[in-house]
Every structure is written in structure tokens, then in C-alpha cells.
A = this chain, B = another copy of it.
Amino acid sequence: MKTRTSREADLSAQIAGAIRDAIVDGTLIVDERLPSEAELAEQFDVSRPTVREALKRLAAQSLIRTARGAFGGAFVRRLSYEEAYGQHITTATLLLGMNDVSFETACEARYALERACAPIATARRDPDHLATMRAEIHRQAQPGLSDESFCDSDVTFHRALVDAAGNPVLSYQLAGAVEAMQPLMNMITFTARSREEIVGLHTRITDALEARDAGAAETALHALEAYTLTLGRGVMAARASNGAD
């Protein structure tokens, strides 16, 4: 009989899975060089293109990097925070965009997570974080700012707040939630009045951090969540009535 493998998956997926498992469980160490494509092909008894497809799958997950030339090849890659951020954000954005996640649910999750790091941030914040936050607040108060730039600044502000906790694992988790909200936030048209309100709340948050007052920070974040929710619901309602016309 033919080699009907127990797994239904493709050969390339099997090979990718085998190598990934070796990386995850530590058999392959960071910066270790994998065998060449020709050697892998012989080892798994498949052709080189199949091995290549498997390696591309791993490269797509940032598990390996490849270098050309002599002494090149595929190497186990140290997953950096930046790459992990990127993947996390892509996944989270798609998850929100494809699964009809309500604005309320996304908003609740985001601010719950931000409140989680607020107490830590109040304890650890340093002048740099405060300076970044104040700078973004200043930018948000500029009259001529486009909605998109306002949202960008908002993201930068919140990431500074998260980074102030000084915990990269926390930053990693939070980055996905904050950035994935971007497409939803971009739907909102910020009036001068709502910007003023948001700038005020951002100032309260920053002041609380500066004063190392965790309770005040949490309260301000609650207020910001409530206000964001109000704005979002307004947009949803307007959109619904437009769609019904």
C-alpha cells in the first residue's frame, strides 16, 4: 500500500509541525542551524520544494530565519517582542474583524486590561513615560488634527501607559488589545467636544500616574471606558439608522 500517513495533513504541514515541536520543546536551541534543505529532504524522504514549503510556514511564524550564501541556511530565531507584537496584532485584528465582536465587548476587554496594569504603572512609571504621555496629550489638543492622527496619538498614549508598568509580558498582551481596537476606533469621528473630553481624561490618568495614585488612575480609566463606549454606541446607532434607510 502507499504511504497513507495517519495524519490527513499535507506533507509540508507535517514536516513544519515536527520542526516546530522540536523548537518549542527545546530540542533545537536559539540560533542553532537546521540541516540544509537538501539534508532535510533526504531525512524526511521528500523533495526539496516540499521542505521549502515547510520552512516557509515556519518563517511565517517567525520561528526561523534564513540566510543565503555559504554558511547560510535556516536558523532557529529568537522570537523578539517586536515580531510577537506584530503577529499578535494581526491575529487580534482579524479575530475582531471576522467574528462580529461587538464594540462593547472589545472596549470592555481593552479597558479591563489597561486597568490591570494601572497599579503597576503607578508604582514604576518613570519621567520618560510621563513625558511621552504629556506630549501626546498636547498633540491631541491641537485643533487641526485629523481623526486618524488623533487615533494614532491615542494608541501611542495608551501604549506608553502600558509600557510604564515595565513588564514586557504585560506590554505584549496589551499591545494586541489596544492596536486591534484601532479599526473600530477609526470609525469614530471625533468632534471638538469629544476630543476635549478625552484630553481631559488622559490628563487625569497622567496626573494620577505622576502622583502615584492607583485609585485615581483606575477611576479615570473607568470614566474613559464609559465615555468611549458612549461615543462608539453613537456611531453604531447612526450607522444602523443609515443602513435602515
List residues of A whose CB falls within 8 A of some B CB. 4, 12-13, 16, 20, 23-24, 26, 30, 49, 52-54, 56-61, 63, 78-81, 84, 86-88, 90-99, 101, 105-106, 108-110, 112-113, 115-117, 119-120, 165, 167-170, 172-173, 176-177
Contact = CB atoms under 8 A, between A and B. Distances in A.
Given A56-B56, A99-B79, A112-B117, A173 B177 contact: yes
17 contacts: A16-B60, A26-B97, A49-B49, A53-B53, A57-B59, A58-B60, A60-B60, A79-B99, A84-B92, A105-B169, A108-B167, A109-B170, A110-B169, A112-B116, A113-B113, A113-B173, A173-B173
B79 A91 contact: yes
What does DSSP make chain A's interface, helix, strand, loop or mixed?
Answer: helix
Contacts of A84: 91-92, 94-95
Contacts of A24: 90, 93-94, 97
Contacts of A91: 61, 79, 84, 87-88
A28 to B, nearest CB: 11
Contacts of A23: 94
A56 B99 CA distance: 23
Contacts of A176: 173
A103 to B, nearest CB: 11
